[in-house]
A and B are shown apart, each in its own frame.
Chain A
């Protein structure tokens, strides 16, 4: 590719791309061919400030989310999507996520946190928009970028910070770490380090919900499961296997794709034959929705529909949230491949700034209210760090604990007690 043709392509783009950066040669986004239907629509999806909710109809039973939202907007242009309490709750949750992740970065560079740490800055709208609609019994399954999912689901900041510091007061007593946040109490099957690994597990949790209702006859069991994963995962076999089975068995699950365009340094467009992920839903018989993941209110509207569908027993939904991570893939990632103009573009669409603007413009909250929340969250995060600092490291005996749920490892006898506690255990086995 010679630089002259690069320059020609660049002029058609609204944001300038550095012609000498090697990565730009590969980005099909650069190609300006208007005849390509796909690229035309991608541009619309990426750059328009008001995103469309595209819902593909595969079967007649699919609900048209876009129509519902459009009706809402046209009928009630003056009524708001949220109340004051909800607005402040969303704001607080997003600020908590942002402040916590910023503190994680600080702590990592000070050596208090170690290993792999993946931060969620910029994607808060997806976590807050979805998880704040759930009940405690609903489950969330996430990936290694799971700190904010844990916080939104209700795991205390102290527990998450201690876990990151590797202290025994962490939510997994220091045995899991950044990538493996679990909480039985809050039904967070947090972190899975392998991408795509969480999706079948989430499908299993949804399966359990349906099984409890139909086989175990717990009639009111309508628990929904949310599976969060990224754009890179959508090329993995397990993703497709689960889309198939979830739709086949009509499981109460929502597959939430946090499409932040990058899998470490691999651009989504370089890795995927058809980058429009939401189109993969209808191929398996479920609705596929695309939403602007930098706008928490839009995400919340879509989430309400999808979660409602699942709760009513209508089956799974695939939601693609177009979002962006402001930091690198992990704290060890120098983040050299992403174009600064792209980053600036998305930084201008910071979800927290957008929500703040919405709340103030619609007189739902004043600057003072929001500043008070900022201050409160700062204190919460500081307190979490202090707590984690002062917590003890795990004792040596903790190394061998929790390998098995059955601590002696010899199984449970017919009387329900551990076999090794049975005095006849060492006699050997049943005599034939």
Chain B
């Protein structure tokens, strides 16, 4: 009912010029810029210097300075005993990390991309995630599995899958996915300090992007809570949830929508497991429309879980069906134009938002 009223109001305010709201990022007076790469590097550096039990293990993390230069400078600083270049043995070194974590060390296991984690997924799920439960609390596993996740540019089907929904369906794991430098720093520090196994999904294309960071973020004890989403942009017409690179796209879509009179609220999930259902539901109860955005495959994805959660808890508040935007239901193609079609783009988000607000033609052919 409320939705219909709002629809009419929206129609009337179509041409009304909205006051400029710069909610994308509030700039503090002395905003320093930091790339996600620097954020991750500094977080690792600080955690390793604070706790001698933290060590980094993975392919090319040492002498090569990290396959994506995330661990630059760490080998010189901490030596080869704490920054270990491993052979190409994901199953082996993931298991070694778990064994070390059983005995109180805090390994950070880097996968060159999360696609390679499939070779080690037995250890992530069976020996890390399930151990605390199987041993009734005797063996906790304070390990972090990190690496780039999702599509990069032109790397083909076997290097482009998003693993958020795979890991997030498993109890015993915490799954985090940062977007900005602040997220990267805060969540990685929280993950390393956490006594449970954490899967930390970064994004290769975000490594080089710069974000402003406040002094609080630069403090060495800065830490973000696991399980809380962040409302990146407040709005009242439609809720858009996203994580990792898609947050940037959602924010751009929100800017475009703002010009057309739709005030979108963008939620950066940050934590895929535990999912911040209360923030999402509170937002949906406010806006009554939901769009979930993710890069991964649509079936059984993160959006599916969010949709189910909202339907269970806030069904009466929904004024439109939940729109799920996900990657195309195909293995990632190589050709640049096909790849662009296989990953959500800003226009897709805008179109979906308009559909959810009953303002555009029905959806075009889906893949």
Q: Which residues of A contact B (CB under 8 A)?
A: 139, 141, 172-176, 180, 182-184, 189, 192-194, 197, 199-209, 211, 214-216, 237-238, 241-242, 244-245, 248, 401-406, 409-414, 419-420, 425, 428-432
Contact = CB atoms under 8 A, between A and B. Distances in A.
A125 to B, nearest CB: 26
Contacts, number: 208
Given A200-B92, A429-B228, A211 B55 contact: yes
A414 B223 contact: yes
Nearest to B91: A238
Contact of B96 (A203, A412, A414): A203
Contacts of B55: 211, 215
Contact of A245 (B25, B53, B93): B93
Contacts of A216: 52-53
B331 interface: no
Interface of B: 25-26, 28, 52-53, 55, 81-82, 86-87, 89, 91-105, 122-123, 126-127, 131-142, 171-172, 174, 180, 182, 186, 190-191, 193-196, 212-214, 216-217, 221-228, 230-231, 270, 274
Nearest to B95: A200
A201 B81 contact: no
A432 B138 contact: no
A85 to B, nearest CB: 31
A287 B13 CA distance: 81
Given A197-B122, A429-B186, A432-B182, A402 B95 contact: no
Given A215-B81, A405-B137, A431-B26, A197 B230 contact: no
B70 to A, nearest CB: 21
B142 A405 contact: yes
7 contacts: A200-B96, A200-B99, A200-B123, A204-B102, A406-B195, A430-B186, A432-B213
B134 A172 contact: yes
Q: Please indicate which of the listed interface residues B91, B98, B123, B195 has the most CB atoms of chain A within 10 Å of its own CB.
A: B91
Contact of A172 (B91, B136, B230): B136
A203 B132 contact: no
Q: Please indicate which of the listed interface residues A174, A200, A245, A431 has the most CB atoms of chain B within 10 Å of its own CB.
A: A200
A205 B99 contact: yes
Given A402-B137, A403-B132, A404-B132, A410 B274 contact: yes
A195 to B, nearest CB: 11
Contact of B225 (A182, A241, A413): A413
Contact of A215 (B25, B82, B136, B230): B82
A412 B94 CA distance: 24
Given A245-B92, A402-B133, A414-B222, A203 B99 contact: yes
Nearest to A173: B136
Contacts of A192: 126-127
A205 B104 CA distance: 10
A406 B227 CA distance: 12
B89 A201 contact: no
Contact of B172 (A201, A208, A404, A428): A404
Contacts of B225: 410-411, 413, 419-420, 425, 429
A364 B99 CA distance: 41
A180 B135 contact: yes
